[in-house]
Structure 1
Amino acid sequence: MRGIKLLTLSVFSTAFLSFTPINKKYIVIDAGHGGNDNGVVYGQFSEKDISLGIAKEIQKISQGQDKYEIVLTRDADNYPSLAERTHQINALNPEMVISIHVNKSPQEETPNHGAEVYIQNSEASKKLAEKISKKFDTQRILERNLHILRETKAPAVLVEVGFLNNSNDRKYITSEEGQKEIAQKFVDVINEY
């Protein structure tokens, strides 16, 4: 009986000592709008669906790696309030926050195109924004006093991935291939951060 106890203790000790806790890092992806809040709309396309599609694709691409965990502020067509989103984000204390949105200008069809990156006055957010702007080939990094940027303690950016009322942007950001490419760009930035 004593031998069995020693063997059990030995097996338990070996298993316990060989266990190394994983310090998981969190990356939060905020899919803008949702639920009754469509965001910008053009024909049958809405910002809430595009941003959610890209967010889910980022999570999908990132599965299987063990450096970080992608957490979405929403993974369905619902609307967590801005206060609920920032509360969730700050509770996780993530490495970074990327809020995904879609742009639209007042004209019916706009010549404006491409991504825009918004930040609050923070050096870490500026560094993240610069990496994203290089990946998306844009020079448009703008400071804005937006709730998600102001109330989030982690480095945070809000990225408008394109203009819904620009025909080329619309075709790209609403296509499955375009959303996968956009998601991969974000994953590349996350991996390089």
Structure 2
Amino acid sequence: MKKLFFAPLLAVLFLSFKPSDKKIIVIDAGHGGNDKGATYEGISEKQIVLAVASNIKQYNSSQDEFEIVLTRDSDQNSTLTDRTDMINKLNPEMVISLHINTSTSKESAIKGHEIFTQKSEASKALADRISKKLGTCNIEEKNLHILRASNAPAVLVELGYLNNTEDRKYLTSEKGQKEVAQKFIEIIAEK
């Protein structure tokens, strides 16, 4: 009698724990913990990119096709090697690493996005889609750890300049962070 009950229970448990069919997209919120990234008058890059990444994950919660995985979901230290090891274990469809630029002058006239890619055509195609959605910008192949060590197509996106008044106001506002996150959801859905 116990065997008859136990076998159907195992079948139900197995079916309920089957692997997800969703494609994994990794969003890397740059820096974190002791590494603030770019800073300007008490504002740090690590705070802004984490807010944008968290909004991307939240906006994707009802998506059936993709699962957003963040390399960090709080203000924690994480080495670049730890991040790329995690990325490669997940074997995602794509990796988008979020950052904020800064220039050498105190207040910068330079503003806007910048995208760095791997050598791969898939990385360059992703960069083109991002540039079209966020606004035309400089796209450059660069030898950065997150790009070099990630096996999946990866891009590093500088969302703007922290020491540019217009970019800073937009990227530190809740409205701006949500708008940027929504654009990334649209970019991901285009795949």
Q: For 1:70, what is the secondary structure of its paired residue?
A: strand
Q: For 2:155, what is the secondary structure of its paired residue?
A: strand
The aligned amino acid for 1:101 is: H
CA distance in 1, matches of 2:36, 2:19: 41
Structure 2 CA distance for partners of 1:13 and 1:144, relative to 1, 3 Å: closer
CA distance in 2, matches of 1:31, 1:20: 29
- Largest Rg, 1 or 2: 1
Structure 2 segments unaligned to the other structure (5+ residues): none
Corresponding residue number in structure 1 for 2:128: 130
The aligned amino acid for 1:148 is: I
Which of 123, 139, 142 is equivalent to 1:141? 139
**Structure 1-normalised TM-score?**
0.90
CA distance in 1, matches of 2:11, 2:109: 66
Corresponding residue number in structure 2 for 1:94: 92
Structure 2 CA distance for partners of 1:191 and 1:107, relative to 1, 3 Å: same
Structure 2 CA distance for partners of 1:21 and 1:103, relative to 1, 3 Å: closer
Structure 1 segments unaligned to the other structure (5+ residues): none
Structure 2 CA distance for partners of 1:21 and 1:39, relative to 1, 3 Å: closer
**Over 6 Å off, 4+ runs:** none
Where do residues 1-193 of structure 1 align in structure 2 (5 Å cutoff)? 22-193=20-191
CA distance in 2, matches of 1:102, 1:126: 20
CA distance in 2, matches of 1:100, 1:108: 22
RMSD, matched Cα: 2.3
Contact 2:118 2:153 in 1 (8 A): no
**Structure 2-normalised TM-score?**
0.91
CA distance in 1, matches of 2:99, 2:89: 23
Contact 2:101 2:162 in 1 (8 A): yes
Answer with 112-121 or 21-30: which moved more: 21-30
